[in-house]
Structure formats: structure tokens, C-alpha cells
């Protein structure tokens, strides 16, 4: 599942997700829209926050989708 879809499903904004993960709102925004991919540290934190619903390969998929739109 894409991070942006998970955030929408859980009705979380970028700031709330960032607070849960321990990063910046801007980082969550860029991961959610696929501009950037999180490092291993943040992949783990996102996986924990989402109970495994968003995994590293999901970020790659978001990145590839964003690249297609550009």
C-alpha cells in the first residue's frame, strides 16, 4: 500500500504522521508523493507505524509512479 493511501485511510495528515515516526512533516510529504524514498531507518519506522501495511517496496512503487507523472 502506498504511504499516501495509508495516511488517507487512517485520516492522518503529514504532521501527525511525522510526529508518530519522529521525523519532519516535509519528509513524510515527499515520501507520500514519491519524490523521495526513505532510508532503511525510516522504512522501519514507517512499517512499524503502519503495522506492516507500507513496506520499502511500496516506496519504490510511489517513486516510480511519481517519475512517470513528471
Domain limits, the chain:
3-69
Confidence of residue 67 (pLDDT cuts 50, 70, 90): confident
CATH of 3-69, one of 1.20.950, 3.90.580, 1.10.260, 1.10.10: 1.10.260
Residue carrying the nine cell digits 524514498: 37
Cell numbers placing 37: 524514498
How distant, in Å, are the alpha carbons of 16, 45, 70 from that of 56?
A: 21, 11, 22
Confidence of residue 68 (pLDDT cuts 50, 70, 90): confident
Residue carrying the nine cell digits 532503511: 40
pLDDT number for residue 69? 76
pLDDT tops 90 at residue 70: no
Residue carrying the nine cell digits 515516526: 21
Q: Please, what sign has the CA dihedral across residues 29, 32, 34, 40?
A: positive
DSSP letter at 39 equals -
Confidence of residue 42 (pLDDT cuts 50, 70, 90): very high
Amino acid at each position: 500500500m502506498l504511504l499516501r493511501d495509508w495516511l488517507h485511510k487512517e485520516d492522518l495528515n503529514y504532521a501527525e504522521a511525522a510526529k508518530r515516526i519522529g521525523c519532519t512533516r516535509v519528509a513524510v510529504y515527499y515520501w507520500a508523493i514519491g519524490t523521495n524514498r526513505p532510508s532503511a531507518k525510516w522504512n522501519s519506522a514507517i512499517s512499524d507505524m503502519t503495522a506492516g501495511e507500507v513496506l520499502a517496496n511500496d516506496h519504490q512503487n510511489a517513486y516510480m509512479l511519481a517519475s512517470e507523472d513528471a
